[in-house]
């Protein structure tokens, strides 16, 4: 008699072999997949072992409390024996203010601290537009930062209260109407200028009023003479305001309602304060200028295209250091006698133009990557040139160009160290040379460069991570 058996339940799945899962699989596929990979892996491990063996004692024997390099070496010798080496981070404890603020007066450090905190508040609506949760997190972090930093900096009571109240107001606005935070972003440049350079409060207010004049003239005349002539008329009106009316208006307002901060000269700026001022300003203004240059290079109008191509090719063909020397030495010869053109402003203008020329080519590549059907779709919808660019073409081109744009921004921020060659105290060369010239720290070498390099890495790595986040957020394809 035949007997049959039918299984009524499934066997549980067996785990994969040890060679096909976990760290063993990853190592086999990535480190030991071939003879060449095995050799490279062994050489890499040996190199890492040698680096760690050589540098680890230097890190472990670090000294954080000393008044000179010789005292550091004595402490290292007492703790680790004669001939031992160790990092002397006590130098950072004594000179951190110069690395961060340059020669900015210590009793005024609360001003760049406030400006930096408000910078984060002004960037938040741009970086996290429409994301209430992220806006609240950033503004809350800014409030905590200002509360701690201004307390440590012994900020005046009035300034401390105003800064905290301003951030609290922005936080409340983010909870109710986050879209209105863009108004603070527009006002921030004038507020930052006044905080950092000081002087009458009316100077930045009247300067910003020039943009109001430009907008008013443009709106009133655009329906009569067209967009391009109206834009030109607005620029002329704003220039007239800034050149001839701004100064007497500021004097009149200051006489009627005197309110000013202590003026700070540009030669007192230095360290990361200078790098952030130049870098953030250059990044902010180079992107719109680069977009206009990219559109101008693709224009059918001969004069516009010729000027755009000439500007881009000339700037890209000249080293940045040459432009900085031009801003520092030669530009003054072409200005009227007695003109005082601030050196930081000159450097910012040239750095902005330099970055804009490179961004123009990056954005032109994004425009060229779009299929021609996008332009035809804009025409089919009846959109004019500027509406088509704003609503259809540029959003796609900029999304494609995000990695290259952020790479240009990172390069621009790192290139701010070149201002040391025109007499400004950048954190890498200018401040470090001053530290090493101090008789107490003469002979120190690695510590200041490592400290500056870590801060640059943190800032640039943050920009890179935000770029990746933005790419993921805007990725609408289905690849």
pLDDT at 479: 47
pLDDT at 19: 67
pLDDT at 360: 92
φ, ψ of residue 18 to 5 degrees: the values are: -60, -30
**Contact by Cβ (8 Å): 350, 311:** no
CA dist., res. 121 & res. 145, Å (int): 11
- The share of the chain scoring above pLDDT 70, in percent, equals 96
Looking at the predicted structure, is the pLDDT value of residue 461 above 90?
A: yes
Of the candidate ranges 1-5, 17-21, 292-296, the one whose mean pLDDT is the lowest? 1-5
Provide the pLDDT confidence category of residue 338 given band limits of 50, 70 and 90: low
CA dist., res. 347 & res. 416, Å (int): 9
Provide the pLDDT confidence category of residue 442 given band limits of 50, 70 and 90: confident
CB contact set of 30 (below 8 Å; sequence gap of 6+): 37
For the segment 34-77, what is each residue's pLDDT rounded down to a tens digit?
888 889 999 999 999 999 988 888 888 888 888 888 888 888 88
pLDDT at 339: 65
Beta-bridge partner residues of 200: 260
Of the candidate ranges 18-27, 51-60, 134-143, the one whose mean pLDDT is the lowest? 18-27
pLDDT at 302: 86
Distance of CA 205 to the CA centre of its chain: 25
For the segment 364-412, what is each residue's pLDDT rounded down to a tens digit?
888 888 888 888 888 888 887 778 888 888 888 888 888 889 999 999 9
Looking at the predicted structure, is the pLDDT value of residue 336 above 70?
A: no
pLDDT at 177: 86
pLDDT at 356: 92
**Of 334, 338, 350, the residue nearest 421 (C-alpha):** 350
CA atoms within 13 A on the CB side of 97: 12
pLDDT, the chain, mean? 86
User: Around Cβ 402, how many Cβ atoms within 10 Å?
Assistant: 17
pLDDT at 77: 87
Burial class (CB within 10 angstroms; exposed 0-12, middle 13-18, buried 19+) of 78: exposed
Provide the pLDDT confidence category of residue 458 given band limits of 50, 70 and 90: very high
User: Around Cβ 181, how many Cβ atoms within 10 Å?
Assistant: 21
Looking at the predicted structure, is the pLDDT value of residue 156 above 70?
A: yes
Q: State the distance between the two ends of the chain, measured CA to CA, in whole angstroms.
A: 60
- DSSP letter assigned to residue 317: T
Q: Is 339 left (phi over 0), alpha (psi -120 to 50) or beta?
A: beta
Q: Supply the pTM of this predicted model.
A: 0.86
**3 state DSSP class of 154:** coil
Q: Apex CA 414: angle with CA 412 and CA 420, to 5°?
A: 105
- DSSP letter assigned to residue 270: B
**Of 323, 285, 284, 290, the residue nearest 308 (C-alpha):** 290
CA dist., res. 425 & res. 418, Å (int): 10
């Amino acid at each position: 008699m035949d007997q049959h058996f039918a299984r009524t339940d499934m066997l549980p799945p067996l785990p994969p072999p040890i060679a096909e899962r976990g760290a063993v699989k990853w190592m086999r596929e990535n480190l030991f997949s071939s003879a060449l990979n095995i050799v490279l892996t062994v050489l890499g491990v040996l190199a890492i072992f040698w680096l760690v063996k050589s540098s680890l004692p230097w890190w472990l024997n670090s000294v954080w409390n000393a008044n000179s390099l010789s005292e550091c070496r004595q402490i290292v010798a007492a703790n680790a024996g004669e001939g031992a080496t160790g990092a002397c981070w006590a130098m950072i404890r004594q000179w951190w203010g110069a690395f961060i603020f340059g020669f900015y007066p210590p009793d005024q450090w609360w001003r760049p601290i406030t400006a930096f905190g408000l910078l984060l508040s002004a960037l938040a609506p741009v970086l996290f537009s429409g994301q209430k949760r992220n806006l609240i997190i950033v503004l809350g972090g800014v409030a905590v930062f200002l509360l701690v930093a201004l307390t440590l900096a012994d900020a005046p009571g009035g300034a401390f209260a105003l800064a905290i109240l301003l951030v609290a107001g922005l936080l409340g606005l983010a909870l109710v109407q986050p879209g209105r935070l863009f108004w603070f972003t527009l006002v921030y440049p004038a507020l930052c200028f006044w905080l950092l350079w000081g002087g009458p409060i009316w100077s930045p207010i009247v300067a910003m009023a020039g943009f109001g004049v430009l907008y008013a003239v443009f709106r009133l005349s655009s329906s009569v003479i067209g967009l391009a002539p109206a834009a030109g008329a607005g620029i002329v009106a704003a220039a007239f305001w800034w050149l001839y009316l701004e100064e007497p208006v500021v004097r009149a307002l200051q006489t009627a309602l005197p309110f000013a901060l202590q003026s700070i000269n540009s030669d007192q700026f230095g360290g990361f304060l200078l790098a952030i001022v130049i870098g953030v300003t250059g990044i902010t203004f180079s992107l719109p200028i680069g977009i206009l240059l990219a559109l101008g290079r693709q224009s059918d109008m001969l004069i516009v295209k010729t000027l755009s191509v000439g500007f881009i090719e000339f700037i890209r063909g000249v080293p940045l250091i040459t432009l900085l020397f031009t801003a520092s030495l030669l530009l003054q010869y072409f200005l009227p006698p007695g003109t005082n053109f601030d050196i930081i402003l000159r450097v910012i203008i040239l750095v902005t133009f330099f970055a804009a020329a490179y961004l123009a080519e990056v954005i032109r590549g994004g425009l060229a990557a779009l299929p021609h059907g996008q332009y035809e779709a804009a025409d089919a919808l009846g959109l004019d040139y500027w509406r088509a660019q704003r609503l259809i073409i540029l959003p796609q081109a900029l999304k494609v160009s995000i990695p290259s744009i952020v790479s240009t921004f990172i390069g621009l921020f790192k290139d701010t160290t070149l201002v040391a060659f025109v007499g400004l105290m950048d954190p890498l060369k200018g401040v470090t040379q001053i530290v090493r010239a101090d008789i107490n720290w003469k002979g120190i070498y690695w510590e200041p460069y490592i400290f500056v390099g870590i801060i640059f890495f943190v800032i640039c790595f943050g920009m890179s991570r935000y770029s990746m986040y933005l790419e993921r957020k805007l990725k609408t394809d289905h690849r």
